[in-house]
Structure 1
Amino acid sequence: MSLHDDAVLVLKGYEDQGQLRQLYLDHLAAHPDGMWKACGAGHVTASALVVDPERGRVLLTLHKKLGRWLQMGGHCEPGDPTLASAALREAEEESGISGLTLVPGGPVRLDRHPIPAPCHWHLDVQYAALAPAGSVAEISDESLDLRWFPYDEVAGVADESVVRLLQRTRAGL
């Protein structure tokens, strides 16, 4: 099964955000290259919010290009067998934490956001990942900073997309 096919199955099984979910499915139906950065109409990305529920905190990265505190995530790569594995790979690469595990149940939410040309949209499929006990984060070259934030401080540093992702993640834990 291709990554494109996996994404279609994941999205068909996702039961929330019906209108946005359908937009993602329509995009993939119209664009066989819709998983890849080269697709100028936009592309599916995968991200994961790294959480430490025992300490009531979340790990965010200060994105180098955007200058905003975000969850870990990014572009799918040809070696990614599934959308979930792409999200987990991105989270491990950007957090420096090995042994992350995705919260069961599939994606937590979807978020479509504009990005600068040549591509115009990221159709982000957002997961949540649990950090193992005693995790030590290490900043990657994709970040300006990497920091743990208590749940109640996230709204003060991150945009509404991250706040909604945290709310949905916490509701599912």
Structure 2
Amino acid sequence: MVAVHQAVIDALAGYGPKTPAELADVDRVRTLVETGDPWHRSNPLHVTASALIVHPGSGRVLLRWHQRHQSWLLVGGHADPDEHDPLAIALREGREETGLPDLTPWPDPEVRHVVIVPVPANSREEAHEHADLRFVLATGVPEAARPENPDAPLRWLSPNEAQETITEANIQDTLSRVQPLLAR
């Protein structure tokens, strides 16, 4: 199978959905992979990759303000042309959106959450869905975080502060999966 498909298949290999809703989302992602280019933005459902950035030494997590959604979310986004590896995409997006130079998968490179997120229409695009593959990335230099632009501030928060700040249920779910890792 071509690289465009294989990287998503590999990322999901052995992944165990935690809820019936997530199982349905993973099944939709697998069907998407079987039927065409899962990364192409013209598809009403396409794959994206994101990450919760953590600083294991302090147990804090980094959130990014998303102006369009008016909420605190994870870093991440779409594949660039010729990108097919979801972890590499999450790493690139993390570096671009935070300026953190040392991001690395933590505690391992495994997918932590798969969720299909509806994206409302705007002046540039129709309503569509993101099949988001989520990872955890760590930094050893949290003080190096710099927003990519003034409209996208960053906040380091304890997991409890983050739970109070996050308004999106699917982001709270991702955080709840990462909290036990930080407590170790």
Q: Which amino acid in 2 is paired with 1:170?
A: Q
Cα distance in 1, alignment partners of residues 179 and 151 from structure 2: 25
Q: Does residue 155 of structure 2 align to residue 147 of structure 1? A: yes
Question: Structure 1 residue 81: deviation in Å?
Answer: 4.7
Sequence identity of aligned pairs in percent?
A: 29
Unpaired stretches in structure 1, ≥5 consecutive residues: none
Q: Could you list the per-position Cα deviations for residues 82-129 of structure 1 after superposition, in whole angstroms to 9, with x for gaps in the alignment? A: 111001111111111011001214111111110023241011000000
- Counterpart pick for 1:27 among 27, 32, 35: 32
Contact 2:25 2:131 (C-alpha < 8 Å) held by counterparts: no
Give the match's secondary structure for 2:133.
Answer: strand
Q: Give the superposition deviation at 1:13.
A: 2.9
1:47 to partner: Cα distance: 0.2
Number of aligned pairs?
171
Q: TM-score, normalised by structure 1?
A: 0.89
The secondary structure found in structure 2 opposite 1:13 is coil
Residue 124 (structure 1) aligns with: 132
Match of 1:161 in 2: 170
Q: Partners in 2 of 1:74 and 1:114 — Cα distance?
A: 14
AA aligned to 1:112 is I
1:72 to 53, 75, 82: 75
Superposition deviation, residue 80 in structure 1: 2.5
Counterpart Cα distance in 2 of 1:156 and 1:171: 17
Contact 2:52–2:62 (8 Å) recurs in 1: yes
- For the aligned residue pairs, the C-alpha RMSD in angstroms reads 1.9
Amino acid at match of 1:45: T
Distance 2:9 2:92 in 1: 20
SS at match of 2:27: helix
Residue number in structure 2 paired with 1:3 = 4
Greater CA deviation, 9-18 or 153-162?
9-18
User: Are the structure 2 counterparts of residues 82 and 142 from structure 1 closer, same or farther at C-alpha, using a change threshold of 3 Å?
Assistant: farther
SS at match of 2:130: strand
Distance 2:80 2:27 in 1: 23
Contact 1:36 1:43 in 2 (8 A): yes
Residue 97 (str. 1) matches residue 100 (str. 2): yes
Aligned-partner SS, 2:152:
strand
Q: Which residue of 2 aligns with 1:171?
A: 180
1:143 is displaced (CA, Å) by 4.3
